[in-house]
Amino acid sequence: MTNRWTITRRHFLIGLATMPVLVACGQGSSSSDSELVAWPSRDRWPPIFYQASPEAQEAYRYAAAHPEILQYFPCYCGCGEQGHRSVLDCSIEEFRPDGSVVLGRMTFG
């Protein structure tokens, strides 16, 4: 089975570069009412997701599908004091046992 969200390293890095990271990391912690929950395996994303650039959408899809890779990209958004260790921490707040993920607010501000 092929992955329909295959992305090149170049496209991934472009997607990351287009995310307004400082706005996202400056946001307060989200409550359960404002969490950005997605179901990547079902291609279900929160409505605000579709307002992001196509590159940013692709970067989030990649992050949800490839956490084992993104854990090795250092965080560059200045959120180390919030516990971010990698780009994965900036993109995905939580992987849930039911298959859903809580997206970080990198693009959504």
For the stretch 42-96, pLDDT in tens is 999 999 999 989 998 998 999 999 999 988 988 777 676 666 778 888 889 899 9
Residue 66 lies in a domain: yes
Contact 64, 38 (CB under 8 A): yes
Residue 68 included in any domain: yes
pTM beyond 0.95 = no
Whether 21 is in a domain gets the answer yes
Please give the residue range of the domain that contains residue 92: 9-28+35-103
Between 10 and 70, residue with greater pLDDT? 70
Query: Is 109 among the domain residues?
Result: no
Split into its structural domains, the chain has a count of: 1
Any domain includes 41: yes
